[in-house]
Homo-oligomer: A and B are copies of this chain.
Amino acid sequence: MNPIRVTIWNEFRHEQEKEHIRAIYPQGIHQAIADGIAEYGFDIKTATLDEPEHGLTEAVLAETDVLTWWGHMAHGEVDDAIVDRVQKRIIEGMGLIVLHSGHFSKIFKRMMGTTCNLKWREADEKERIWVVEPGHPIAEGMGEYFEIPKAEMYGERFDIPAPDTLVFVSWFQGGEVFRSGCCYHRGQGKIFYFRPGHESYPIYYQAEVLRVISNAIKWCAPVANPVVKFGNVPQFMD
C-alpha cells in the first residue's frame, strides 16, 4: 500500500510577522507538524497562503489524500476559487483535518453550513481532553484523557452540525466545555475537526497532539471507490 499523501496547509503569517510567535515555530506551524508526524510514514508536503494559488494548485490537490488546515488572521485572504476547488476534492474523497482556529476558515464554514462560531478566552488555562468514544481509531493510544498545560479556551456553544462521531470533549479550567474532536462524512470525503493549537503555545510539539493528527490522517484517507454518478439514469433492465 502506498503511503498516504498529506498536504499540511498553513496560513504562515503570525510566524513571519511576530517575533515571539517565530520563537515558538521558527519554520512555521506547518513545518512543526510535518516534522512531528514524520515518524508515522506519510508522504508529506506543505503549502502556505502566500504561495501562488495558496500552494493548492489542481495538481497538488489531485495528489493529496488528506489536507490539514491551520489559519487564523487571514481567513479572508483565501481565494474563493481555491475554496471551491478544495470543496470539490473533499466531495470526491479527499480528507480534511481542520485545526484549532481553522474553525473560522472559509473551507470549514463552507463544509459545515453554519457559522462555526464559539466562545474563546486567552488566559493560559489548562485543557483536559477527554476521550468519549474510546473505540474510535482517532482515539487510539490516547488513554482516557490527555492535557494541554496552557491553552486558549474554546467554549460551547460551538455552532457546528452535530458530528457524525464525537471523539473528544475538552474541559477548561475556567468553566467551559468544548466538542474538541469531531468526525464528519461529507461527499465521499471525511473531515475531522481538532481543537488544540494556537500560534502562541508550543502545542504542535506535544506528542499526544501529533498522535491524534496522525490517527486522523489515517481515518480521513480516501476509500478506493469510483466517483459516484449523478443525474438522469435509465431504468434497470433485467
Contact = CB atoms under 8 A, between A and B. Distances in A.
A3 interface: no
A165 B183 CA distance: 12
Contacts of A76: none
A157 interface: yes
A157 B140 contact: no
Contacts of A223: 134-137, 139-140
Interface stretch (A7-15, A17-25, A186-194): A186-194
Interface string A201-230: 000000000000000000000111110111
Contacts of A174: 235-236
Q: Is the interface of A mostly helix, strand, loop or mixed?
A: loop
Which of A128, A141, A159, A169 has the most CB atoms of chain B within a 10 A radius of its CB? A169
Contacts of A230: 115, 117-119, 157, 159
Contacts of A143: 225-226
A140 B93 CA distance: 12
B128 A175 contact: yes
